[in-house]
Amino acid sequence: MQAATQAIETIGTIDAQHHLVLDETLPITGPTRVRVIILLPEESEIDETEWLQAAAANPAFDFLKDPEEDIYTLSDGRPFYDDG
């Protein structure tokens, strides 16, 4: 028969040496063995730089390298400034 377990939720950081460093002291008198479950945040969205690099490397956009596709100059249109 398995003993009952108690859950304690806290937040921490994995450091450069792969050690778990907790943000706060645990309310446990030790030493004692514990079971640890680590939940990592999902990186569901890539940032703009990663997206642009992926698009630039995608062969589906190779036709844009054709000089005939370069139809705009810096004097076309007006600059857009985001005040947000």
Structure token digits, residue 19: 């050690």
Q: What percent of the chain has pLDDT over 70?
A: 96
Lowest model confidence (mean pLDDT) among 8-17, 31-40, 70-79: 70-79
Gap between the Cα atoms of 12 and 41, Å rounded: 12
Model confidence at 43: pLDDT above 80: no
d(CA 77, CA 12): 50
Q: Please give the Cα distance from 37 to 49 (Å, whole number).
A: 32
The secondary structure of the chain in percent helix, strand, coil, rounded to multiples of 5, reads 25, 5, 70
For residue 31, is pLDDT > 90?
yes
User: Residue type at 65?
Assistant: K
Instruction: Kindly indicate the confidence band of residue 1, based on its pLDDT and cuts at 50, 70 and 90.
Output: low
Task: Kindly state the average pLDDT of the residues 61-80.
Answer: 86
Tokens (6 digits) for 53: 């690099």
